[in-house]
Amino acid sequence: MPNQQSFKCRVLRAVGTRATADTDFLATEEPLEIRLSWIEAGKRRQQTIAITMRSPGHDEELAVGFLAGEGIITCSNEIQSVEGNNNTSNTGSEANLVTVNLVDGVRPNIERLERHFYTSSSCGVCGKTSVNALGMAGAETLQAVELQISAATVYTLPIRLKEQQEIFQSTGGLHAAALYSPFNGQFIVREDVGRHNAVDKLVGHQLLGGNSGDHSSVLVLSGRASFELVQKAIMAHLPIIAAVSAPSSLAVKLAVGYGVTLLGFVRGERFNVYSHPHRIVFEGLCQETT
């Protein structure tokens, strides 16, 4: 059913030589159409920017975060309104459409729009593997950002993320991402069948809350750190990324080049620092360098 993040189904559960009827919960996956609306020559135009597979919920944040990650919008002041479909009575296409209306005077890059980003839940915005494309989108280096976090706090991040993965607990089929603020302890979690979508929802949450560009949050990932996810962090001004799994080689190169502190294999009381370690404070721990 629309706007439900999980649904129950009948299964035949096999264990050894026995099979019994049972029920299971699956993560919901549905397409979301993201439209952009702006005023040009006195008339309002609309264009579909992306069709992405996602877990229903926080769709407005997903749409805004996606547009921010692509450099189509840069701040909340450019957004007049977001027309979403949180009404659970909506069905069909009405429940899978979000329109972002830009304020008068803000005109998007038409060439960028004409590329029509079609994405999937598994790979997100794949194919955009050029570091140069990030610079063209207006990304700025985060080298000078002075945010720091203790190693002891880093150890707790995956635990907190797992504890708040509500839909994952019942389905086992969702990725998660979180924004952690070392200043006030705020920990915001979003889940989705797509790793990229979970991050986009967080970025959209920042923009819609007027908190974009403050350089004060840590991005926590439930899986690996890919090039695309590091790219989204840079566009959202997030200087520290803590991933439970491994980063890719291109993700590390991108983090090094844009001043992002990238942590991988954050599990138990261990992690690897792949770039800009000055933001990690090893309180009471022995830090050896070779």
Phi, psi of 41 (to 5 degrees): 55, 40
In angstroms, the CA 70 to CA 89 distance is 31
Q: How far is CA 110 from the centre of its chain?
A: 24
Provide the residue type at 111 as one letter: E
Active site residue 123: yes
**Smallest Cα–Cα separation from 57: which of 97, 93, 4, 8?**
4
Q: Which residue has the tokens 């967080």?
A: 202
Helices 195-208 & 59-69 angle (0-180, nearest 10): 90
Which of 9, 123, 126, 286 is the catalytic position? 123
**What is the distance between the alpha carbons of residues 279 and 290, in angstroms, rounded to a whole number?**
19
Euclidean distance between CA atoms 154 and 244, whole angstroms: 11
| C-beta atoms surrounding 282 within 10 Å | 11
Helix then strand count (H, E) for the chain reads 8, 15
CA distance 125 to 52: 9
- In this structure, the chain runs to a length of 290
Task: Say if CB 84 and CB 92 are below 8 A apart.
Answer: no
Just list the catalytic residues.
Answer: 123
